[in-house]
Amino acid sequence: MLTLLTHPGGNGMFSYGMFCSKAAYLLQMSGETWQREDFFNFASMPHGKLPVLRDGDALIADSEGIRRFLEDRGADFDPGLSTEQKADSRLLIRWLDEALWAHVVTARWYEEAGWQHLCTSVLAMAPKPIADQIRARMLQGLDFIGITRFSKAERLVRLNQDLAALQTRLGDHPFLFGAEVTAADCSAAPMIEALSRAPADPEVVAAARAYPALLAYAERVAAALPLERPAVAA
């Protein structure tokens, strides 16, 4: 059976790692039989990150690597989409996975209130020097991509622009590309969930919660692709 190696979940999220939730959604869509294994030694993994899919002795790293693996086995994550829609979906996924993701990471690791929350929840069992070391590495990455060089007010403006655009793009459709769930929803829903609940900076959470259509949409994706979600408060 396929095993998805994941970061643990909590506060109603399948995993605190958005890409772990994305991979779980893709697995649900694929119809494969799979199980979850929370995995703590992720530094030993091919990219030093999770998710990783284990198939016998093979390790498939990266949510997009997992998507390709499942497609090679026959999964179709964009059923009924035109070539143009598939191209739009690809671009949307890249923005979700790389740009909207940066807002989540900033809200959790850079903003002081988010960091304090992480320390008392997800990282509660981690020795302080290790937690600080992980944070320093995260902040270095955020500085390099530049998001933390904006002021918080500027970041919130940019986040609002992006969430408003996503809400407009969704319109009255149940899912991003119409009536059926597709690959783009597997990326979008976990990001919206992570932005709109702890552990994250409360101002970012409030900003995300000001888009009720997006919150309802993330719940629709969750209902379409059911996953077990630990309730442990973050």
Is 185 near ligand GSH (CB under 6 A)?
Answer: no
The smaller minimum CB distance to ligand GSH, of residues 176 and 194, is found at: 194
User: How far apart, in whole angstroms, are the C-alpha atoms of residue 167 and residue 214?
Assistant: 6
Name which position in 13, 50, 93, 100 contacts ligand GSH (CB under 6 A): 50
Is 63 near ligand GSH (CB under 6 A)?
Answer: yes
Residue 201 and residue 195 in contact, taking contact as beta carbons nearer than 8 Å:
no
Picking from 30, 28, 6, 27, the residue whose alpha carbon sits closest to that of residue 18 is 6
User: How far apart, in whole angstroms, are the C-alpha atoms of residue 76 and residue 102?
Assistant: 28
What backbone torsions phi and psi does residue 160 show, to the nearest 5 degrees? -60, -40
Residue tagged 């499942």 (tokens): 70
Is 177 near ligand GSH (CB under 6 A)?
Answer: no
Name which position in 6, 24, 27, 51 contacts ligand GSH (CB under 6 A): 51
**Secondary structure element (H or E) that encloses residue 164, with its range:** helix 152-170
**Footprint (CB under 6 A) of ligand GSH, residues 70-99:** 97
Is 193 near ligand GSH (CB under 6 A)?
Answer: no
Name which position in 3, 8, 32, 42 contacts ligand GSH (CB under 6 A): 42
Stretch that binds ligand GSH, among 47-55, 115-123, 144-152, 158-166 (CB under 6 A): 47-55
Determine the size of the site formed for ligand GSH (CB under 6 A).
13
User: How far apart, in whole angstroms, are the C-alpha atoms of residue 150 and residue 152?
Assistant: 6
The smaller minimum CB distance to ligand GSH, of residues 138 and 156, is found at: 138
User: How far apart, in whole angstroms, are the C-alpha atoms of residue 188 and residue 159?
Assistant: 14
The smaller minimum CB distance to ligand GSH, of residues 191 and 225, is found at: 191
Is 60 near ligand GSH (CB under 6 A)?
Answer: no
Is 64 near ligand GSH (CB under 6 A)?
Answer: yes
Is 17 near ligand GSH (CB under 6 A)?
Answer: yes
User: How far apart, in whole angstroms, are the C-alpha atoms of residue 149 and residue 198?
Assistant: 23
**Secondary structure element (H or E) that encloses residue 65, with its range:** helix 63-72
Is 19 near ligand GSH (CB under 6 A)?
Answer: yes
Residue tagged 């772990």 (tokens): 20
The smaller minimum CB distance to ligand GSH, of residues 49 and 54, is found at: 49
Backbone torsion region of residue 49, taken as left when φ is above 0, otherwise alpha when ψ lies between -120 and 50, otherwise beta: beta
Shortest Å distance, C-beta 138 to ligand GSH: 7
Binding site for ligand GSH (CB under 6 A): 7, 17-19, 42, 48-51, 62-64, 97
